[in-house]
Amino acid sequence: MALQDAILAALADGSESSGYDLAKAFDYAVANFWTATPAQLYRELEKMQDEGLVAARVVAQEKRPNKRLLSLTKAGRKALHEFTTRDPKPTAIRDELLIQVDAMEHGDLASVKAHIEARLAIAEQKLAYYKKSRERSLDGCSEEDFLVEEERVGPYLTLLRGISFEQENIRWAKLALKVLAKREAARR
Amino acid sequence: MALQDAILAALADGSESSGYDLAKAFDYAVANFWTATPAQLYRELEKMQDEGLVAARVVAQEKRPNKRLLSLTKAGRKALHEFTTRDPKPTAIRDELLIQVDAMEHGDLASVKAHIEARLAIAEQKLAYYKKSRERSLDGCSEEDFLVEEERVGPYLTLLRGISFEQENIRWAKLALKVLAKREAARR
DNA sequence: GAGGTCATGTAACAGGTTACATGATTGA
DNA sequence: TCAATCATGTAACCTGTTACATGACCTC
Confidence of residue B59 (pLDDT cuts 50, 70, 90): confident
Domain boundary among B85, B114, B139: B85
* Per-residue pLDDT tens over the stretch B111-131: 999 999 999 999 999 999 999
* Domain annotation covers residue A34: yes
CB B38 under 7 Å to nucleic chain C: yes
* Number of domain units in chain B: 2
Same domain membership, residue B69 and residue B112: no
Residues A110-152 pLDDT 10s: 999 999 999 999 999 999 999 999 999 999 999 999 999 999 9
Mean pLDDT of A45-65: 88
- What CA–CA distance (Å, rounded) separates A58 from A156? 31
Does any domain span residue B20?
yes
Confidence bin at A86 (pLDDT 50/70/90): very high
Q: Among A38, A65, A85, where does a domain finish?
A: A85
Inspect the interface and report whether the beta carbons of B9 and A93 lie closer than 8 Å.
no
Residue nearest to nucleotide D19 (CA to C1'): B39
Residue A60: the pLDDT is 77
Distinct helix (H) and strand (E) counts, chain A: 8, 3
Q: Which domain holds residue B142?
A: 96-187
Residue B111, classed as helix, strand or coil, is helix
Q: Could you tell me if residue A91 is inside a domain?
A: no
CATH number of residue A74's parent domain: 1.10.10.10
Scanning every strand, the nucleotide with its C1' closest to B40's CA turns out to be: D16
Q: Are residues A59 and A128 in the same domain?
A: no
Q: Is A60 on the interface with B (CB under 8 A)?
A: no
Residue B169 lies in a domain: yes
- Residue of chain A whose alpha carbon sits nearest to that of B106: A81
Query: Do residue B126 and residue B60 come from a single domain?
Result: no
pLDDT in tens, A140-183: 999 999 999 999 999 999 999 999 999 999 999 999 999 999 99
Whole-number Å distance, CA B14 to C1' D25?
27
Average pLDDT over residues B155-182: 98
Q: Report the pLDDT averaged over residues B62-86.
A: 92
Q: Are residues B45 and B108 in the same domain?
A: no
Residues B139 and B103 in one domain: yes
Q: What is the pLDDT of residues A8-36, one digit of tens each?
A: 999 998 879 999 999 999 999 889 999 99
Which residue minimizes Cα–C1' distance to C14?
A1
Q: Which of B75, B59, B56, B68 is nearest to B8 (CA)?
A: B75
How far apart CA B15 and CA B10 sit, in angstroms, is 8
**pLDDT surpassing 80 at residue A39:** yes
Label residue B133 by pLDDT band (50, 70, 90).
very high
Whether residue A90 is contained in a domain is answered as no
Does A76 share its domain with A127? no
pTM of the model: 0.95
Q: Are A79 and A14 part of one and the same domain?
A: yes
Residues 6 or more apart whose Cβ sits within 8 Å of residue A140: none
